[in-house]
Amino acid sequence: MKKVIVIGNGMVGYKFCEKLRAAEGGKDFKLTVFGEEPWPAYDRVHLSAYFSGSNAEDLLMAPRQWYSDNAIELRTNELIVNIDRIQKKVFSHLGKEEEYDFLILATGSAAFVPPIKGVEKKGVFVYRTLEDLDGIISYGKQAKSAAVIGGGLLGLEAAKAVVDLGLKAHVVEFASRLMPRQLDENGSGLLKSKLEDLGISIHLSKNTAEISGNGKLTGLSFTDGTHLPVEMLVISAGIKPRDELAKGCGLQTAPRGGIIVNEFLQTEDPSIFAIGEAASYQQMVYGLVAPGYEMATQVVNQLVSNQVKPFMGFDMSTKLKLIGVEVGSFGDPFGEGEPSKTIVFEDKVKGIYKRINISQDAKRLLGGILVGDTSNYNMLWQMVQNNMPLPPEPEDLILGARGGKESQGAGVESLPDAAQICSCENVTKSDICVAISEGGMMDIPGIKSCTKAGTGCGGCMPMITDLLNHQLKSMGRKVKNVLCEHFDYSRQELLDLVKIKGIKSYDALLEDFGKGDGCETCKPAVASILASTWNELILKQDTIQDTNDRFLANIQKGGTYSVVPRIPGGEITPDKLIVIGQVAKKYGLYTKITGGQRIDLFGARVDHLPDIWEELIDAGFESGHAYGKSLRTVKSCVGSTWCRYGVQDAVSYAIRVEERYRGLRSPHKIKGAVSGCIRECAEAQSKDFGIIATEKGWNLYVCGNGGSKPQHAQLLINDVDDETCIRYIDRFLMFYIKTAEPLNRTATWLNKLEGGMDYLRDVVVNDCLGIGKELEREMDFMVETYACEWKEVVNNPELRAKFKHFVNVDEEDPTLAFQPMRGQKIPAEWGVPQSK
């Protein structure tokens, strides 16, 4: 039995082991893997998840047991320090030696650290391993600001980690733009603007001369004479291939680093291969996981088969989300490979930039850049990869169909069988179609298990889903939209079952119409359905729609809660203002006026919540449902009451509307607004429903939203009276509740609704389905059964007793800590300077 040793237990080293054991004849090798870290291989692609709740176990590619189950000797915490190519032996730092027949160098890379004076100071970190991350997290607890050197992919990932730690973040980039290898000036400029909107300071064209501080970092000094005071530094300016072992045993390395390999991934020693970031093929080091997986596959093929496919380089297209901003770069993004024409679309209001480069004859797509919206990335990338013809009007690819035309863009069905759907695992369209038609894989988990498609970065999942649905339809199979593996029903079907069968608990629905124990997908979705159908107290449910529902308040940083009483239409009396002030002073709460014309009280202990609510209720307040997937606010301007331009009483109408729909539970949160004239001071056209006054009545707009992907509401009906407007809102909201998918805002729901606004208007205004009266009756039921959830808790001793930090004692949480700021308090270590 031949012996294979793998040096390096990163993602690529693990993938080699997985593919070797899965290959025919792959079990005929004795396989030993050395990893210098204490953990088995873990997912570096999603390393930033470590800062938002994931632990080392969550990130593992496979548990330690997997290695023993597959007869793989895994030796962690053991570093190979020398290779003897003559005797074919490797030696570890523990003084142990092992013989090999084939040696796989998957040593990966280390963080590149520029030669900056003072880099050894305390508070300076690199962003590479879990140990690095542990150090960053620990040190970050005593810091309020941090800089990241590097504005590329790795640097922005590190910046996200800094943001997740709650620190003031600075990104320092030597080049004149962010992500210079992937984005052009315009795309980079838009990305910079979006990151700055998130509170991240961007410093471009900056060359760091020195890290200042007396043993401990206090700031960065740049060659242009400027200085940036910070308390922590993360260097994420690129990678350096780990090729020191290769150099030590006389293997050739590239001038810029990396172990030189041929098209078969062999070094100059035919029994030694190099894969992943340690390898240099034609002076190129590949820093993405997909080419590393492809290298692993090719080496496995050579070990077990005579059918050898050479490695011919790899496309470096990439799609990712950087701190909530979607970015994509594919093919030839800058149009440098051959003469080309460029088509650009830019929407600075929505924060979207799209560029495609097409051939001079307008027949082929060469590459492009996407910022802010990467929804069509997969198809564009496929068009480049497969040399597919362009539509008659190429701009349709980034603008969509216009002027009533049908879209000319190609769908997944038009791809050739050889099209690579999953680049991480090199899975083609044909592989997936065969798994469905011949392998009987009728769902996404089955396809993943059979082909491994979608198990890497996950960027191909939308295309895999489209391909599954298309293939099932072509086979004459019904494509059914089910909630999850535990319910073979859609949300709409479950809502009907709940109503028809009178089901009022999750357990009852699961027992009668589901299977298994449920999951984090179906539990909140069913909770939403039950709340939207029966309008009962959310605390009495077996499961809840949202974590905040558990205490009828929003949990905030530091472990405290915020209290948001309802202030319909933004109108409040002086007496009520005084009560809010008195409550805030009594319980030491931070107060802030929200964007929805309410007052938010932050910093409440969980055991104080019922007491706070009781005082507010006694003053005439009620729950504002800021914690629920429900109606939040109906914002208003002063309208004709005070404004000389107002043509209708916006405040009175907003109060009426908000009091009608208060507490209404839905698939997602709902916001409304009423403007007293076309000057639109209440910003009604950015809301789920917006009402704008006219001389004749009201114009009703629906399906808008703000947030990360803002969308203007669309006009549903114009010049209607008070009663008609409310009737149409009743129908619209109930139709949305009955037909939307879980966690879909009204804007997303409308975008997916077949027929769009024309169909929605037909249902709501023209009553084409004949369900208008039924929708109105269902809304009347919601209005009649409304009860303030805070008041229910205040008046129920059993429920009130649940509001405490610990289940077994009545003590307060001793870990709560605050610091002063501008005369109020905030959670300690929130990243804001201490007030004096």
Residues 106 and 117 in one domain: no
Residue 277 lies in a domain: yes
Give domain status of residue 186, yes or no: yes
688-717 pLDDT, tens digit each: 999 999 999 999 999 998 876 788 999 999
- Cα(699)–Cα(702) distance, integer angstroms: 10
| CA-to-CA dists, residue 721 to 93, 228, 267, 695, 716, angstroms | 83, 59, 80, 11, 14
Q: 773 pLDDT exceeds 60?
A: yes
What is the pLDDT, as a whole number, of residue 469? 83
Q: Does 55 share its domain with 93?
A: yes
User: 168-172 and 145-149: which strand pairing?
Assistant: parallel
Over residues 346-360, the pLDDT tens digits come to 888 778 899 999 999
Report yes or no on 587 lying in a domain.
no
pLDDT digit string, tens, across residues 410-447: 567 778 888 888 877 888 888 999 988 888 888 887 88
Instruction: Report yes or no on 592 lying in a domain.
Output: no
Residue 768 has pLDDT above 80, yes or no: yes
What does pLDDT average to over the chain? 89
Q: What percent of the chain has pLDDT over 90?
A: 60
Residues 452-461 have a mean pLDDT of 76
pLDDT of residue 545: 62
* CATH of residue 745: 3.30.413.10
Q: Highest-confidence range of 137-141, 673-677, 706-710, by mean pLDDT?
A: 673-677
Q: Are residues 173 and 225 in the same domain?
A: yes
Same domain, 119 and 62: no
48 within domain boundaries:
yes
Q: How far is CA 510 from the centre of its chain?
A: 29
Q: Does residue 480 have a pLDDT over 80?
A: no
724 in a domain, yes or no?
A: yes
Query: What is the DSSP secondary structure assignment for residue 407, as one 8-state letter?
Result: P
Residues in Cβ contact with 95 at an 8 Å cutoff, skipping those fewer than 6 apart: none
Domains in the chain, number: 4
For residue 633, give the 3-state DSSP assignment: strand
Same domain for 771 and 639: yes
Describe the crossing of helices 722-739 and 772-784 by its angle, rounded to 10 degrees: 90
Known binding residue 677? Answer is yes
Residues in the chain: 836
What's the mean pLDDT in 220-243? 94
- Tell whether residue 522 is among the known ligand binding residues: no
Taking only the tens place, the pLDDT of each residue in 237-272 is: 888 999 999 999 999 999 989 999 999 999 999 999
79 and 204 part of one domain: no
The answer to whether residue 104 sits within a structural domain is yes
Dihedral sign from CA coordinates of 246, 250, 252, 256: positive
- Per the annotation, does 788 bind a ligand? no
Q: Is the pLDDT of residue 516 over 80?
A: yes
CATH code where residue 80 lies: 3.50.50.60
With 70 as the cut, is the pLDDT of residue 492 above it? yes
| Claim to verify: residue 634 and residue 530 sit in the same structural domain | no
What is the pLDDT, as a whole number, of residue 461? 77
Domain co-membership, 668 together with 730: yes
R_g of the chain computed on alpha carbons: 30
Give CA–CA dist 93/308, Å, rounded: 35
Consult the annotation and say whether 681 binds a ligand: yes
Last residue of some domain: 214, 237, 260?
237
Range of the domain at 710: 630-787
Helix (H, G, I), strand (E, B) or coil at 322: strand
- End position of a domain, from candidates 745, 765, 787: 787
Least Cα distance to 822 among 834, 831, 830, 809 occurs for 834
Cβ–Cβ under 8 Å, residues 793 and 611 = no
Same domain, 694 and 770: yes
pLDDT tens across 69-91, in order? Answer: 999 999 999 999 999 999 999 99
Same domain, 204 and 84: no
Domain annotation covers residue 424: no
Whether the model pTM is above 0.85: no
Among 211, 237, 263, where does a domain finish?
237
Per-residue confidence (pLDDT) for residue 547, from 0 to 100: 66
Are 55 and 120 in the same domain?
no
Residues 106 and 118 in one domain: no
Mean pLDDT, rounded, for 91-108: 96
**What does the pLDDT average to over 95-103?**
96
* pLDDT at residue 806 is higher than 60: yes
Phi, psi values for residue 178, rounded to 5°: -75, 150
Do the Cβ atoms of 524 and 665 come closer than 8 Å? no
